[in-house]
Amino acid sequence: MGGGESATFGEFIAKLRGRKGWYQRDLAAEVDRTEDWVSGVERDVIPVRKVEMLSLLARVLGATLDDLLAHPQPATAPSASPRRRVSSARLTAIRAAEEVDDEVRRRELLAAAAAAVFAPVIGGQPADASPAPLAPLEDLVLNGAAAVPGQREPTVASVGASIATARQEFRAARYDALGQALPGWIAAAQSVGTPEESARALAALYSVAARLCIKIGNNGLVAITSDRALTAARAGGDGLVIAEAQRMVSSAWRRQGHLSRAADIAVRAAHELQRDGSVPERARLAAQAGLYATAAYTAAKLGDRGYAHSLISEGADTARAADRADGMRDIALHRLSVHYELGDAGQAIDLARTINPAALPTAERQARFFIDVARAYDQWGKSGQVYRALLAAEQAAPQEIRRGSVREITTGLLRHDRSLPGVRDFAARAGVQLG
């Protein structure tokens, strides 16, 4: 089994675990050890010397003993430090340990995501086929290459134009065209400008890619593209680009079910941005408001009512300080989602009545508004209003109705009220499998 001769023992164990789609706790259960022990092994701070344990690891991970022995281990386990007063050096060490834990968690998320993406390639029965819009992006992730579009050599200006076009295609909810074009734009961004310019461009494009994957519902690609966005953003050094990438990483963790961690990532990113003096104040405040709104939605999914309302209020105050109308509209849409997630359908509908969908600046936002209205009415069991809201979402952005949440609601409509005129045709357009 090829593991890459340069990989350490711990990295190889993590890779094998990721291929099986396991978390560290899953491997710990298989070998009768603690999750902390697995974490130590994968970080190369705990060596594995006993042949019995090496053989057990090889067996449960689907490798051979020779595979494992081909990768170097630490010579000895690190010795314990003597007790001493807490000092600045100690605090630095604690922070470094926390950053290592963050990296371990990041690798766990990516390993699980990669397992989902690679499952059809490794063997067995293929999983559900990914929607066509993401096929070129999957090819880029799996094979690492894409054709640069156009006949001319890409330039910094042409890459900048592609970023603007990517964002516009997303706002217009033209997801099919965006999915086809993104890999080529990413390939072009890799080849022009200074390293910092290239990194910032890549971060922007991978953030759009992560948003697209969220819309399509491919959680594996959400995790991978958001991680690439953040890696590139940190290399580019722009605080706003970093904040947007962190928002995508927060969404990736949320979609993997790690809600507390997802909210924490968004809140910490807002605090980090507060300390970044290089970012213009209005732009900083607007980005912080978006991060608080993302965290509020996640807290609502977690069922933490107090924290969700506190965060959305913080987002509203910050957006108000930024004095940007689009920011306040975005907060209103997130507040609507918060009410829905907390089960407060009545408050969601009352808020929706105060929002003029025609004033929402993009097709994507308009459709998102109507879908949330449909979800709120669905909680009330008002099928007629649900259907009308879904039809309005389709009118605003036809490709938006292929989202999983729309298919779920539509399946319920088919089950409980098939008398709605045209509902079966709508269900077919949304991608619901009709019996």
Angle at 428 between CA 406 and CA 211, to 5 degrees: 40
CA atoms within 13 A on the CB side of 168: 6
- pLDDT score recorded for residue 104: 58
Give 326-375 as a DSSP string. Answer: HHHHHHHHHHHHHHHHTT-HHHHHHHHTT--GGGSSSHHHHHHHHHHHHH
Give 148-169 as a DSSP string. Answer: PPSSSPP-HHHHHHHHHHHHHH
CATH of 1-75 given 1.10.3720.10, 3.40.50.10800, 1.10.260.40, 3.40.50.11900: 1.10.260.40
Ranges of H-type helices in 237-352? 239-255, 259-274, 281-302, 305-322, 325-341, 345-352
C-alpha separations of 385 from 267, 388, 390, 393 in Å: 35, 5, 9, 12
- Local structure of residue 300 (DSSP, 8 states): H
The per-residue pLDDT string of the chain (435 residues; one tens digit each, 9 = 90 and over) reads 444 446 888 889 988 988 888 888 889 888 888 877 888 888 887 888 777 788 889 889 988 877 888 888 865 444 333 333 333 343 344 344 444 555 555 555 555 544 444 333 333 333 333 446 788 888 887 777 666 666 578 899 999 999 999 999 999 999 999 999 999 999 999 988 999 999 999 999 999 999 999 999 888 899 999 999 999 999 999 999 999 999 999 999 999 889 999 999 999 999 999 999 899 999 999 999 999 999 999 999 999 999 999 999 999 999 999 988 888 999 999 999 999 999 999 999 999 999 999 889 899 999 999 999 999 999 888 899 999 999 999 999 999 999 989 999 999 998 877 788 999 999 999 988 876
- pLDDT score recorded for residue 48: 85
- pLDDT score recorded for residue 106: 52
- pLDDT score recorded for residue 23: 82
- pLDDT score recorded for residue 107: 55
- Contact between 215 and 133 under an 8 Å Cβ cutoff? The reply is no
pTM for this prediction = 0.70
C-alpha separations of 82 from 40, 86, 255 in Å: 20, 12, 42
Angle at 158 between CA 153 and CA 163, to 5 degrees: 135
Distance (Å, rounded) from C-alpha 201 to C-alpha 178?
16
- Contact between 14 and 42 under an 8 Å Cβ cutoff? The reply is yes
Distance (Å, rounded) from C-alpha 273 to C-alpha 322?
14
Distance (Å, rounded) from C-alpha 335 to C-alpha 26?
36
